[in-house]
Chains A and B, each alone.
Chain A
Amino acid sequence: DAKTTQPTSMDCAEGRAANLPCNHSTISGNEYVYWYRQIHSQGPQYIIHGLKNNETNEMASLIITEDRKSSTLILPHATLRDTAVYYCIVRGSNSGYALNFGKGTSLLVTP
């Protein structure tokens, strides 16, 4: 599975959009981009995933560039409860779930 690169930490004001970038320049054609988050001391929680089209659900939006080498997770109206570590993961459709979670981006939402 392709490796990903994320910033170590980011800040966002409450009520503003949080845009979390992820680089995955070695992604291959059948690999999906997944996002999970981990709120302090809890198990990671699935957020969203996509292949090449932009995706949106009740939690977030995922924007994948046309060349698929990078993506952005968007939390449209961040709240204090969105403070967490966010993991960007690339996984092939035919590969298992031995996912490399890496260190993720620590997002701090401030009042």
Chain B
Amino acid sequence: NAGVTQTPKFQVLKTGQSMTLQCAQDMNHNSMYWYRQDPGMGLRLIYYSASEGTTDKGEVPNGYNVSRLNKREFSLRLESAAPSQTSVYFCATHPQDGELFFGEGSRLTVL
């Protein structure tokens, strides 16, 4: 029972390259979230999905796209990576009216 699994854990990109961060949860929760955390900063919400087939923008959605592939998986795509997207990305989920469970993070560096 892994909880929330994020892949890859580390990635280095060049400016303009694209990539997808994957998140999968095995807790059968409806809601899933993508946050980013910059050095010395708190977490900021990028996108979230309240249920399969729905997605909504968070605080900092520009430069990102998301896909809620099914109930288990919620992916975050960077179409044309920029140095400003260098960050640690966290995926999270929660049960109905419960607390958030986070993955271990994906550390992205854009050169």
Contact = CB atoms under 8 A, between A and B. Distances in A.
Nearest to B94: A97
Given A96-B50, A97-B48, A46 B99 contact: yes
**Majority DSSP secondary structure for residues of A touching B:** loop
B48 to A, nearest CB: 6
Size class of B's contact patch?
Answer: 20 to 34
Contact of B58 (A44, A93, A98, A103): A98
Nearest to B97: A93
Size class of A's contact patch?
Answer: 20 to 34
Nearest to B98: A46
B61 to A, nearest CB: 11
Contacts of B97: 93
A111 B101 CA distance: 30
A87 B101 contact: no
Contacts of A101: 35, 42-44
12 contacts: A34-B99, A42-B105, A43-B90, A44-B100, A44-B102, A45-B102, A93-B97, A96-B48, A97-B94, A101-B42, A103-B40, A103-B41
Interface of B: 4, 31, 33, 35, 40-45, 48, 50, 58-59, 88, 90, 92, 94, 97, 99-105
